[in-house]
Amino acid sequence: AELFNTGSISASAYASASSRGTDEAYATAIAVGVHQSASNAQTVLVTLTNSGDILADATAKAFTPGTVTEATASASAVGVSQEAHGSGTSGSIARAVLSNSGNITATAFGSVNSQGSGSPDVSATAIGVNQFADSAGAASASLTNSGDISAFATADISGGGLVNEISATASA
Residues 94, 47: contact at Cβ < 8 Å? Answer: no
pLDDT digits (tens, 9 = 90+) for 47-79: 999 999 999 999 999 988 776 567 889 999 999
DSSP β-bridge partners for residue 47: 2, 97
pTM of the full structure: 0.90
Residues 150, 101: contact at Cβ < 8 Å? Answer: no
pLDDT digits (tens, 9 = 90+) for 112-134: 888 777 778 889 999 999 999 99
116 vs 27: which has the higher pLDDT = 27
Nearest to 5 by CA among 37, 47, 39: 47
Residues near 65 by beta carbon (within 8 Å), at least 6 away in sequence: 18, 19, 20, 115, 116
pLDDT at 161 (0 to 100): 59
